[in-house]
Each structure stands twice: as C-alpha cells, then as structure tokens.
Structure 1
Amino acid sequence: MNIILKSNVFELQFRYRPMIVGKIKQIEGRKYDSVRKIWTVPVSKRIELERLAYQIRQFEPVTWGTGDQHVAARQEEDVAYELPELKALDRPHGLKIAPYPYQLEGIQRGLELKRFMNTDEPGLGKTLQSIATINLANAFPCLVICPSSLKINWEREWHKFTDKKAMVLSDNVRDTWPFFWQTGMYQVFIVNYESLKKYFVQRIKKAEGWTLRDVEFRQTINLFKSVIIDESHRCKSSSTQQAKFSKGICKGKEYIIELTGTPVVNKPKDLVPQLSILERMDDFGGYKSFVDRYCAGPNEASNLKELNFKLWTNCMFRREKSLVLKDLPDKVRQVLTCEITNRKEYKDAENDLISYLQKYKDADDEKIARAMKGEVMVRINILRQVAARGKVKEVIEFVKDFRENGQKIILFCSLHEVVDQLKMHFPTAVSVTGRDSSDEKQAAVDAFQNNPKVDIIICSIKAAGVGLTLTASSNVAFVEFPWTYADCCQCEDRAHRIGQKNAVTIYYFLGKSTIDGKIYRIIQTKKNIANAVTGSTEAIEENIVDMIANIFNSNDDEEDNDDL
C-alpha cells in the first residue's frame, strides 16, 4: 500500500483486499474515488491510518510519502522481498506439553537467531516459545525481565512447561540469589522492570543526566547466559532507565529474546533501543544508517518494506492469529496469577470465613446447618470481593501493556467498585453493567463493535454474560469470574460466536494465595456442575459451600493453572 499525503488528505493505493477495505471503512471521513480507484482519508485521521498500516504490514507492506515521493514509493513496491520461511523444529521440543506446529517453527527460528524479537500477536504463546528456546539451548541461568503483573505467571509457566525451577526475586534474596543458582536449586530468575536497579546496579556515578557509561553494574549480571525481555516495547526510548539497564545487563549474552506484539508503537525509531539491546544495530549499518534509511520523510518512516525484510532476515519473526488458525483451537485459555494489594484485609476476611466454616461443620442440627449455608455463601462472596479489589492494580498494568498492541479487549467483572476503578483509569472505555439503561448498553456495544478508538469494554458478568455480540475483539479477560464452567463459557462466547474471524484468547486473573485459585480448581474439576445440580440457587450454593469447606479444611493451597 502507498499512502501519499496530498493537501488535506491521504491517498491510499493498494491491490484490492476485502479485509483492508473493511478496515478503511471503519475510519470516519474516508471516501472512495471510483474514477481513480483510490481511497482518501482526512489528515485529521492520521492516527487511525497509522494503526491500520501497523495491522496489515505483514501481508501488505506500507510506504508513506508526499506527492513528490510517490514515484520512489512505487519503486520500492516493485522490489520483490521474499521473507524467510520458518522451518519445523529439528529436534524433540523437550517440554511437558506439545506445542502447536507454528510454535515449533518459532522455537526453531529462535535457536537459529539466538538474539531476536518474537513479535507474534498476543495469545499465540510467545512465553512458551521463549522458554522452549532457552531450555533447548541450555542457556542457564536465565534472567526474565517483565512487567510486575506478569512475574508470577512467568514463574508458573517455567514450572508448567519444563523441569527447571524459577524464582521471583524479592528483598529476601536481594544479595543471595546467586547462591540458589550455584547450588543447583534454581535456574531461572524473574524481575520486573522497576526493580532492575535494586538487584543489579552497584551505583550510578552521576546524579543527573547519566548515561549507560555512568552505570556500575554488580558482577552477578555476568552469571546469566540468557535474558528474556517481555513487553520489550517498554524499552522503545533509549532515555529510560529500563532501556539503559536492560542494555547493560544483556551485553555479551549469547541468547537475548525480546517479546512484544508491538515492536513499533509510533515510528521505526522505536526499534533502535530494542535492536541495540539485542546488539543487532550493525546488521542495519549502525544508528546513523538506520535512521537515514528508515526514519526519513515527514512521517519519520521510509523504506518500510525493506526494513521489514531485514528484520525478518536478521532478528525477527511474527505470526498473527488469522494466519495460524489451522493450528489453534477455537479458544485458548491462560491463567494469570497476580499479587493482591490488600493482603491484610484479605487475611482478616479469610480467617473469618474459616472460623465460620468450622461452626458450620460442627453443627449437628440439620436445620441449623442448612440455615448457616446462606451465611457461609455470603462470607465466601465477601472474600472473593476483597480478592477482586486487590487485583485491580495489576489488571490495569496488564491492560495498559495489552492495548499498546492495538487490539481490543473485553473485561468481565462483578463489583461496581471494580468497574469504577477500571473506568477511572481507562476513561475512553465503555461499559455494560446493571446500572446502565438498555439504550446505554446498546450504545456501548455499538461503539466497541464499530469504533476503532473504543478498545476496552468493561462488562458485568450478569448484565453482559448472555445475548451480546462482541466479535470486534478476540481477547477476553476475567477480573472476576462466575461460579460454574457453563457461565464462564457464556461470557467467553460474547466474543466466540458467528462473525469472529480469530481464535479467542481468554485470560483468567487469579489473586495469588486467595480463594480465586480454589474456585478456579472447583470449576475445572466440576466442569459439568451446571448439569449435575437441579438448577436451583440453593442446590448450587449447597454444592459450592461443601466443596469450599473441604478445600479450606484440607489446607490445600495448590493452585492449578491448566486450561478449563
């Protein structure tokens, strides 16, 4: 596609593709010139146009220019760049579960490149591929740098997929973590961006205006043979601490893996710090050559088709859901375990529930026990609500990272307080809750389905769990979740229905060491609970109360993260 700036409009020239036309039609003010057979988009809609260009770039290379540059753009369009074909893995994958074919190809490509970016679309298993790559390369110890909200998930994924032991760094092991590697107890260490200085920086020689040269790192960083950087677009600015520290830590490592669905957030220059961390700038002729060749013009973007080819050739690959659907199930579920921010409040509520459960268990009068069930259910729900409030901070961090990928997401929750906190942080989000009128609900659905700018819809499980069509997104996240498997499926199916062109990825947020894990396990082990009970509220409560009582009484804190 050539995008040419002419006066107050952009002219779009491209080979006809229904999917591209469909996306253009979502941009307000677009027009089709049937004589010249081109589309025009107002200059004021440049952001929407840039988002479209990013979404289609893998199968439709995009060039930008002014009216004087369209000849050069056409010349680049005429150059045939053949992207390298990913090969099947040439050895056993070594994981506890079998990856999909496209994931095996990603693992193989990672082993070939060693220092690279996996920019697969969210939901395609970048975590699994990077873990398998490091595991097969035996590049330990491995450091994982990730957002705070994903630390526990990374720990669980290492344990789920391999026999390696992973540790989330904390103040308790600030100085002693190398001992755990040296004694063979742990092979993987996980840290969030904000804590890089705490664990790996000895001192910074300047108080202000410091560069990487002014950073004195601890010698322990030399232990790492590999580094995985999750959501690496957080390092898109070389002036940030996380970019400087990440580059210093990664220097000289044999394996460096960057994971991001959005390597370019604004313009090609976003790639420079990320490529620098990978020690790949020489593959593009160095900084000056990169900027002159790929960051020219009024939009600071040029020769993008060539850039895409060089990235694929040297250090990058990307697949989208629509291109690997044959490998994917209709639904992909993932559990994200997160820390809660109100641990004391939660422990008080949990102790209150446990105390009451003991009274319920000891009640020898059947009528009294039956009457107590309702109160037990109330206290269980209070505990779930406390856990939900404690998860909001990390959910917000997850959504911030997620929306940078230019994709829409559906959030399910129950508490009005949780809805309000999410809307406060994401003012452009729309909602469907019990407090909204029918007209307001429909307006929210219409906006989410048809307006590219509306990328978050916050749904009440009761108000939006059935009937609605939300196929504008293939991503669903549960901040809170229903009691039964059937109800979970009903919510998931707002996106997984006729009109959905992608596999649907579903994220379940569980508070670490909370009742969330216990309820989730009940749902897993009792998938047919909706059919097993009579359908009355009392029957469901009776079943749940007894199961919760048994789990608490057994003091079993194990949290299973298998798919539903």
Structure 2
Amino acid sequence: MIQINEFSEMELRFRYNADLIALIKERGEFPNYQPQRKTWLLPPSSQNQRLAEHLLAHWEFFLRGELRPADEMMEAFKQARIAASMARDAPLRCPGLGGTLRPFQRAGVAYMARTRRCLVADEMGLGKTVEALAALQYVSAFPALVVCPASLQLYWQEQSACWLPGRQVRILGTQSTLEERADIWVVSYASLPRYLPFLRNIRLRALVCDEAHYLKNPAARRTQAVREVARYVPYRFLLTGTPVLNRPNEIVPLLAILGTLYPLGGSRAFLRFVRDAGPERLEEIHARLRVWGFLRRTRAQVLPELPAKERVRVHVPLDDPSAYAEIENHFWAWAQAHGEVLNPLVRLTRLRQEALRQKLPAIREWLQGFLESGEKVVVFGHHREALSHLGQVFDAPVMDGSMPVRERQALITRFQEDTHFPMLLSSLTVGGVGWTLTAAH
C-alpha cells in the first residue's frame, strides 16, 4: 500500500521483500524506514513519484490518497515539517522511558524520529539530553554511540541509567572492555579516533554528538572521526545550544555530518542564501533548516512548562587518583593516632583542596562551553583560591567578603544590566542570600 500522509509524504507498507527493499533504496530519494511503524517514508519529489508509479504498475501496490504534482506536494511537505518542528506537543508513547517528558519535549522527540537526522539547537536548560535519549528509545535505535566532551561522559552515563533503566551503558576506555556489549556507548571527542575500528564492527544504529559546536572545524581530527562514524549510521542527532558561534559557515560541517547539505542545495548555495538573507531574516533561515531536521526552542517559548529550578549533578573523575589517595591515607593515619584530640576538619581541608585542584580542568571546560552559548552564568564557590583562578582565566570579577557592600551592589547591578558582562564569581557566604541575579537564567 502507498498512503499519502499529513506531511504529503508517501508511506509504503508491505510484507518483507528483500528485492523490493533494494529497489526502494536504489530508486528512492531520501528513503526513511520507520521501524516502530514498519513503514518506509518517501518525501515528495519527481524521483519518488516515478518510483511510486512504478510500484503501482508492477508490484501490486494500491494508493490511498491523491498523488498530486511533485512541486505542490513538496510545498505541503515543507510547511508540515516546519509546523512539526515548532509544535508545542505531539501524541507520543514511549514504553521503557524512566520518566515523563514535558509536552514540548514530546513534540521534539516525534520530530527527531520522523527526520532521523536532526540538529537539536534548543537553548541550554531545555533538556536536549533527555530528548535524545527518548528518541533513541522511541525508535529503538540501539546500539547507539554518544560522543561528548570528556567532562560529560559520566553525566551521560547517569542520565542514560535514569531515563533508560533497561539499557546497558558503558564508557569506552574506562570500566568497559571491547569484548563487552552495550546498548549505549559513550566516548569523548578526544578518544573517538582510536576506537573507530571497534565501532565499525558493532553496527551502530544511532549517533548522538553532544556540544556539537566542537565539530565546527571540518579539518579537525575529531570532526573527521565523527564523519567517518556517521557514514554508516541511520539515526544522527547533533545537540548544541550554539550551532553558530561566529560565522555562518560553522554550521556547514554539522549539516554535512547529518547528511542534509544536499537537499539544502549544497554548502555554497546554502551559505549564499544565509548571506543574502542576513541576520534580520533569521526565521527564514531557520525555516529552511527545519524542513530537513532542525529544532530550536527558547526558554521564552516554553517557559510555562519549565520547573522553577532544576539541579543537575555532574560527576568528574579525578585526573590523578593516586595523589588524592596518598593524602587520604595520611589523613586516616593521623586520625587514628590523634583520636579526638584535634579537629579532623583541619586535615580534611587538604583532601577537599586536592579534589578541587583535579576538578578545575573540567570546570573550565564546562564554563567555556556555557559562555559560548551567549548566556550569563553565576559561579558560586567555597575555596577562594579556586575562585581567583577562574577569575583570572575568564577575566571575571570575584565577589567575596573582602569586597565592601557598596562595591558588591555596583557589581551586581552591572551584571544585571551590562550585556558584555557574562560571568560573575562569588563565595557562597557573600552571594548566596539576598541578591537579585536573574540575568543568569
């Protein structure tokens, strides 16, 4: 059967036939198999119309709906895709998910599943991680590979265990061995190239790249490694709140990984369109991207659905566990020798300082990625040395007890009003109570 759906796509349903599947792959333009519905989707085009006519004439298919002219169906297809990418909700059932999606997230997952290759560019804090995991579960795209910065590997492992409790998740290069099996493999951008031979042999069904703006340089080794993996993976989801940081051509490597440059006319034609449109026609640029796989929702658009506050704990592995263990052993030896004579918190300070020292690289990496989104951030800390270090690295002021109250208020007023003041660092005792810092979402 061939049915014309609400997106003006052609839905092909038939009993398994290897020859027919090979024909669809050979003659179809962008054929898209939906395993949860056991349906092949073909977007409207002259080439796909010729394929449909061939199936109706020679393969005993019958038609439900009207096979209109290709250009008319393509226009309807574009408008339906754009509407789906901007939907506030969608009917979606996802058995096996370990939580409840918000309405706009259901709409996002439905759109990602339909396009199969999507650049998810929602603003930070809207749950791109959850949407990606839900999309994997919804289409049963396992095994899947998640590529992310090293500092986020444990976060992805924890979120996967939370939202997909029935799935095995392993981090490549840590507790896992290449002989083990997993539904989701997590690997850092830096480590990905050396695991390419292993990944070629496990028949990945999905690729998820977090902080995908790391891939803006097409000549970078990590970008080339991701492109190598993407070549044979049907589902591809790239997540970033900042797909374009400085220049429009930064998005081109991402679209190349997704495989959506061709329907956009190629890199030169797309960049020419972007330059001609200009920033004042941003929605027009977004609309063209939405046809082939682009999600962009802002906090303002979905604010009623967001909770008042969301806490996310990111676990960071120590760079040098032996150094921490040595200090820890000294502490316990001292504690056993002195009993209750002295306050053990004095000795514990060294352990806390050593743990913080080893976490600072991951903290710097996370903050750098956040600042690239263009959002403001407030960083609270306990150790003055760490706050001073971050202040020097990011050229940001530190608000602590040594600063007079009037200077603190002037600093906060500037942070609230000055768009060129992206970061404020503060001690917990000074900045934790009584200040209005709503400029940082």
Letter in 2 for 1:295: R
Aligned match of 2:259 in 261, 274, 279?
Answer: 279
Provide the C-alpha distance between the structure 1 equivalents of 2:276 and 2:228, rounded to a whole number of angstroms. Answer: 29
- Matched letter for residue 183 of structure 2: Q
Counterpart of 1:56?
A: none
Q: What are the Cα deviations for residues 476-520 of structure 1, in whole angstroms up to 9, with x where unaligned?
A: xxxxxxxxxxxxxxxxxxxxxxxxxxxxxxxxxxxxxxxxxxxxx
CA contact (8 A) 1:268 1:294 kept: yes
CA contact (8 A) 1:430 1:454 kept: no
The answer to whether structure 1 residue 262 and structure 2 residue 242 are counterparts is yes
Taking the aligned partners of 1:378 and 1:165, their CA distance within structure 2 comes to: 42
Residue 197 of structure 2 corresponds to residue 195 of structure 1? no
In structure 1, distance between residues paired with 2:92 and 2:159: 23
| More displaced stretch, 161-170 vs 274-283 | 161-170
Aligned to 2:180: 180
Cα distance, 1:319–1:271 mapped onto 2, change above 3 Å: same
| Distance in 1, Cα, partners of 2:91 & 2:239 | 20
Match status 1:224 vs 2:191: no
Number of the residue aligned with 1:324: 302
**2:357 aligns to what?**
389
Name 1:242's counterpart in structure 2.
222
Match of 2:132 in 1: 130
Residue in structure 1 matching 2:366, options 389, 398, 402: 398
Distance 1:192 1:223 in 2: 19
> Does the 8 A contact of 1:93 with 1:132 survive in 2?
no
Amino acid at match of 1:112: R
1:353, CA displacement in angstroms? 3.7
Distance 1:128 1:236 in 2: 23
For 2:125, the aligned partner's letter is G
Partner of 1:415: 383
Q: How far apart are the structure 1 equivalents of 2:291 and 2:423?
A: 35
Stretches of structure 2 that go unaligned for 5 or more consecutive residues are 1-78
Return the offset for 1:166.
Answer: 1.4
Identity of aligned residues (%): 28
For 2:66, the equivalent position in structure 1 comes to none
Q: Which residue of 2 aligns with 1:451?
A: 418
Which sits farther off after the overlay, 388-397 or 218-227?
218-227
Q: What are the superposed Cα offsets for residues 4-43 of structure 1, whole Å, 9 maximum, x if unpaired?
A: xxxxxxxxxxxxxxxxxxxxxxxxxxxxxxxxxxxxxxxx
Matched residue SS, 2:304: coil
From the superposition, tell whether residues 343 and 102 of structure 1 become closer, same or farther in structure 2 (CA, over 3 Å): same
Alpha carbons of structure 1 residues 218 and 342: separation in structure 2 relative to 1, 3 Å: closer
Q: How far has the Cα of 1:469 moved from its partner?
A: 1.6
Distance, in Å, in 1 between the alignment partners of 2:206 and 2:322 is: 37
Q: Which amino acid aligns with 2:429?
A: K
Q: Secondary structure at the match of 1:257?
A: strand
Note if 1:108 corresponds to 2:110: yes
Q: Which residue of structure 2 lines up, in the alignment, with residue 9 of structure 1?
A: none
Counterpart of 2:421 in 1: which secondary structure?
A: coil
| 2:345 paired with 1:377 | yes
Q: What is the CA-CA distance between 1:226 and the residue it aligns to?
A: 0.8
Displacement of 1:350 after TM fit?
Answer: 2.2
Of 109-118 and 381-390, more deviation after overlay is shown by 381-390
Is the contact made by 2:94 and 2:137 (CA closer than 8 Å) also made in structure 1? no
Query: Which of 91, 94, 106 matches 1:92?
Result: 94
Tell me whether 1:468 sits opposite 2:435 in the alignment: yes
| Cα distance in 1 between the residues matched to 2:264 and 2:99 | 37
Q: Indicate the SS of the match to 1:273.
A: helix
Per-residue CA deviations over 1:253-291 (Å, capped at 9, x if unaligned) read 111110000111123222111010000112211122212
Shift of 1:136: 2.2
Following superposition, the deviation at residue 316 of structure 1 comes to: 0.9
Normalised by the length of structure 1, the TM-score is 0.60
Q: Which amino acid aligns with 1:104?
A: R
Aligned to 1:500: none
Equivalence for 2:49: none
What's the CA shift for 1:305? 3.2
Compared with structure 1, are the counterparts of its residues 436 and 228 closer, same or farther at alpha carbon in structure 2 (3 Å cutoff)?
same
Report the Cα offset of residue 302 of structure 1: 8.2
After superposition, the Cα gap between the structure-2 partners of 1:468 and 1:288, relative to the gap in structure 1 and judged at 3 Å, is: same
Match for residue 317 of structure 2 among 328, 332, 339: 339
Cα offset, 1:170, TM superposition = 1.2
Partner of 2:31: none
Secondary structure at 1:471's aligned position in 2? coil
Residue identity matched to 1:160:
C
State whether residues 168 and 190 of structure 1, in contact with CA within 8 Å, keep that contact through their aligned partners in structure 2.
yes
Equivalent pair of 2:119/2:294 in contact (CA under 8 Å): yes
The whole-number CA distance in structure 2 between the counterparts of 1:119 and 1:294 is: 17
Moved more, 219-228 or 272-281: 219-228
- Rounded to whole Å, the distance in 1 between the matches of 2:389 and 2:287 is 43
Quick check: 146-155 or 351-360, which moved more? Answer: 351-360
CA distance in 2 between counterparts of 1:240 and 1:442 reads: 44
Q: CA deviation at 1:359?
A: 6.3
- 1:452, CA displacement in angstroms? 0.9
Shift, 1:105, TM fit:
1.9
Partner of 1:436: 403
Partner AA of 1:158 in structure 2: S
Alpha carbons 2:200, 2:229 under 8 Å: kept: no
* Distance (whole Å) between structure 1 residues aligned to residue 420 and residue 255 of structure 2: 30
Q: Which moved more, 1:445-454 or 1:375-384?
A: 375-384
Structure 1 residue 356 displacement after superposition: 5.1
Q: Secondary structure at the match of 1:458?
A: strand
SS in 2 for 1:410: strand
CA apart distance, 1:325: 2.1
> 2 CA distance for matches of 1:321 and 1:223?
37
Displacement of 1:358: 5.3
Q: CA offset at residue 415 of structure 1?
A: 1.1
| 8 A contact 2:388–2:398 mirrored in 1 | no
Q: Which of 168, 172, 190 is matched with 1:169 structurally?
A: 172
Query: Is 1:313 the counterpart of 2:291 in the alignment?
Result: yes
Given that residues 146 and 185 in structure 2 are in contact (C-alpha distance below 8 angstroms), is that contact kept between their aligned partners in structure 1? yes
